[in-house]
């Protein structure tokens, strides 16, 4: 059996005396998207940033395709992992095409190869080709985050990390971008952080519910909904369930 795309073991982080992530273990299989679901302060973003070492772990081990990455320099590690940022973070002085091609350029790809890759990606994220030469300021928020997704995919990464990427978008745009990720499903291994339960249920192959720095349940969406194993899971599911009931009553009545 081949090694999983990502294996975290005993990963810990504290800020001061406050533990944020506690001796956490997690495995992401090849082609699988694991959603980290949790309330604010549950440690999910810190956990995500420890995977590509934007936040250095206090203890524990990160393995990428079976390789312990502790000895890799941070920038070399991050070139192997795509990252979609909460604040989008496109470079305002670079065109859309240059933004998408930034990691391949850092890796020293030939210009023709970068150009071809950018063309493919722009069509994959449903952006018209003529946007390639525009600057980010000329794009809508939804278009910007499509570029953000394309940028994360550009260097054919071994793993994709999503840091609450659609939280700031309006519901319609968010739905479309979730559709985009859904459409790419199975083609990459990834970890997706969100506090939005319906987003987690829609996108996750498995969902890890984080509470006070620990995973309190790790399960497929159906399993999670049917058999919540922890009070916090039940509490998280409660709110969307009530919303769905209210919505159903309005529709039915």
Partner 1 sequence: MEELPGLLAAHARLALVALGAALAIAVPAGVLAHRRPGLGRVLTGAAGVVQTVPGLALLALMVPLLAALALPSIGVLPAFLGLTLYGVLPVLQNTAAGLASVDDAAREAARGVGMTERQMLFQVELPLALPVVVAGVRTATVWTVGMATLSTPIGAPSLGNLIFAGLQTRNYADVLTGCVASAVLALLLDGLVRLLELGTRVRRRGLVRTGLAGLAALATLAFVPLAASSGSSASPLRIGAKTFTEQYVLAEVLAAEAEEAGAETEVVASLGSTVAFDALRSGEIDVYVDYSGTLWATVMERPLEGAVRATLRAEVPRWLEATHGIEVLASLGFENTYAFAVRPETAAEGLRSLEDLAPRSARMSIGGDYELFRRAEWEAVRAGYGLGFRERRPMDPALMVDALLRGDVDVIGAFSTDGRLAELSVLTDPREIIPPYDALVLARRGFRAAYPEAAARFEALEGALDAATMRRLNQAVDGQGEPPREVAQRWRSARP
| List of residues contacting partner 1 (CB under 8 A) | 52, 54, 73-79, 83, 85, 87-93, 102-103, 106-107, 151
Cβ of residue 128: shortest distance to partner 1, in angstroms?
21
Closer to partner 1 at the Cβ: 38 or 82?
Answer: 82
Cβ of residue 232: shortest distance to partner 1, in angstroms?
29
206-211 and 33-37 as β-strands: parallel, antiparallel, unpaired?
parallel
Closer to partner 1 at the Cβ: 19 or 142?
Answer: 142
- CA 154 to chain centroid, in Å, comes to 15
Cβ of residue 94: shortest distance to partner 1, in angstroms?
9
Beta bridge partners of 162: 84, 192
**What is the Cα–Cα distance from 206 to 220, expressed in whole angstroms?**
4
Q: Where are the beta strands (DSSP E) in the chain?
A: 6-15, 18-28, 33-37, 59-64, 67-68, 81-84, 159-163, 190-194, 206-211, 214-219
Beta bridge partners of 163: 193
CA 134, 171, 126, 30 dihedral sign is positive
Q: Is 36 helix (H, G, I), strand (E, B) or coil?
A: strand
Closer to partner 1 at the Cβ: 39 or 102?
Answer: 102
Cβ of residue 87: shortest distance to partner 1, in angstroms?
4
Q: In what order do the strands lie in the sheet with 159-163?
A: 81-84, 159-163, 190-194, 33-37, 206-211, 214-219
Closer to partner 1 at the Cβ: 76 or 116?
Answer: 76
Closer to partner 1 at the Cβ: 78 or 206?
Answer: 78
Backbone angle region of 31, left / alpha / beta, with phi > 0 → left and psi within -120 to 50 → alpha? left
Cβ of residue 140: shortest distance to partner 1, in angstroms?
17
Structure tokens at 34: 């694991």
Question: Distance between terminal CA atoms of the chain?
Answer: 53
Closer to partner 1 at the Cβ: 104 or 228?
Answer: 104
Cβ of residue 21: shortest distance to partner 1, in angstroms?
19
């Amino acid at each position: 059996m081949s090694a999983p795309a990502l294996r975290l073991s005993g990963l810990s982080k504290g800020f001061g005396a406050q533990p944020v992530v506690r001796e956490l273990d997690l495995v992401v299989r090849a082609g699988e998207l694991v959603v980290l679901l949790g309330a604010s302060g549950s440690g999910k973003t810190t956990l995500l940033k420890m995977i590509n070492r934007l936040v250095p772990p206090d203890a524990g081990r990160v393995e990428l395709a079976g390789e312990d990455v502790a000895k890799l320099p941070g920038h070399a590690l991050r070139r192997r992992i795509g990252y979609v940022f909460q604040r989008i973070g496109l470079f305002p002085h670079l065109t859309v095409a240059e933004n998408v091609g930034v990691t391949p350029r850092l890796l020293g790809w030939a210009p023709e190869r970068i150009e071809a890759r950018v063309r493919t990606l722009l069509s994959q994220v449903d952006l018209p080709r003529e946007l390639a030469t525009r600057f980010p300021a000329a794009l809508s928020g939804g278009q910007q985050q499509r570029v953000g997704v394309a940028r994360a995919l550009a260097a054919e990464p071994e793993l994709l990390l999503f840091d609450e990427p659609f939280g700031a978008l309006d519901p319609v745009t968010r739905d479309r971008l979730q559709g985009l990720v859904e459409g790419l499903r199975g083609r990459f291994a990834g970890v997706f952080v969100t506090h939005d339960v319906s987003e987690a249920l829609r996108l996750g192959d498995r969902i890890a519910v984080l509470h006070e720095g620990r995973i309190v349940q790790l399960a497929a969406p159906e399993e999670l909904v049917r058999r919540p194993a922890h009070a916090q899971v039940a509490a998280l599911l409660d709110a969307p369930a009530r919303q769905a009931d209210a919505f159903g009553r309005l529709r039915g009545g």
